[in-house]
Each structure stands twice: as structure tokens, then as C-alpha cells.
Amino acid sequence: MSIYDIEVTQSNGTSYPLSNLKGRVLLIVNTASQCRFTPQYQALEKLHQKYAAKGLTILAFPCNQFAHQEPDTDDKIESFCQLNYGVSFELHKKIKVNGAESSKLYQYLKSQAKGILGTESIKWNFTKFIVNSDASHIERFAPSVDPMKLEGKIQDYLSIIQGEDA
């Protein structure tokens, strides 16, 4: 199985296979609008603005599994993100990232990039995964890691697909 065998659903209900994103660097994040890490949306948007045209795709998946910090509907979440953080990257339908009902995407990511001490479960909102352009390498980053701290790694992966420095 590959990440490209998985289908995801945008907040507007449109589904698509991740194979549509082959050749792009992916930054995948489980999000929440009432979390102390919610301001990371601003950094995610900055990365999107700077690198989307160069091959970066940010995939945000709202999740209400951590202290019920994402209680709203998909429409309200999208409005909140656009109004407060100017988010222009695609938001996806609210999902579960842990447990028996966790999304196929998160089941896959957790199996490929384990957390501290080899654990698989997602510990909190804004856990980040970077997937390189051919999905041969997936890295996990803690919620406390500012997305801008990932910029160098993103540039490195983008330079591989561009054949030059990003």
C-alpha cells in the first residue's frame, strides 16, 4: 500500500485520490480551531503562499479528538480559518486520527512515521507529517514544532523535484 492509494475528502465534500498529488511535497496536519496551537494556521498559510507554486501542498484535517477543541461543522471551521488566518489552502472534512475509526490516511501515516518511543498514536492537535515528492520518506513532527521550523526541510525536498534550490 502507498499513500497514493488513499482517498481524502475536502471540507466541501469533494473526494479525490492522493495520487493526484504525486510529485508534490505534502505537509499534512491535524488541526483544531480552539487549541493553543491554532495560531499555527498563520505559519501554514505563509508556507502555502511561498511554496505552493514550487510543489508544496498543505493538507489540513480538522479533528475533535483532543479535548473537543474542534466542535464546529466543516463549514464553520473553513469560515473561521479564512476569517482569522486568511487560510487559502484546502481544508478537509473533519476526521478521527486515533482509534478504530481513524482515517485511512492517518492509519497509514502513523504506521510509516512513528512517534516518540515508537508509538503510533497522535498525541495532540497540529501533529505534522512531511511526505517527500515520491512518498518514499515520511517524517513526523510534534504539535509544538512551529511550521516555519520545517521550512528548510521543505526547501530540501522541493529542490529535489526542481533540480535546483527551492
Which CATH number do you get for residue 98? 3.40.30.10
pLDDT tier, 160 (very low <50, low <70, confident <90, very high otherwise):
confident
* Catalytic site positions: 35
66-82: average pLDDT: 96
Contact 111, 119 (CB under 8 A): no
**pLDDT at 83 exceeding the cut of 50:** yes
C-alpha cell at 139: 517524517
Range of the domain at 101: 3-162
Average pLDDT, the chain: 94
Q: Is 160 exposed, middle or buried (0-12, 13-18, 19+ CB in 10 A)?
A: middle
C-alpha cell at 68: 473537543
Contact 129, 137 (CB under 8 A): no
**pLDDT at 43 exceeding the cut of 90:** yes
Task: Please tell me the total count of domains within the chain.
Answer: 1
Q: pLDDT at position 166, please?
A: 42
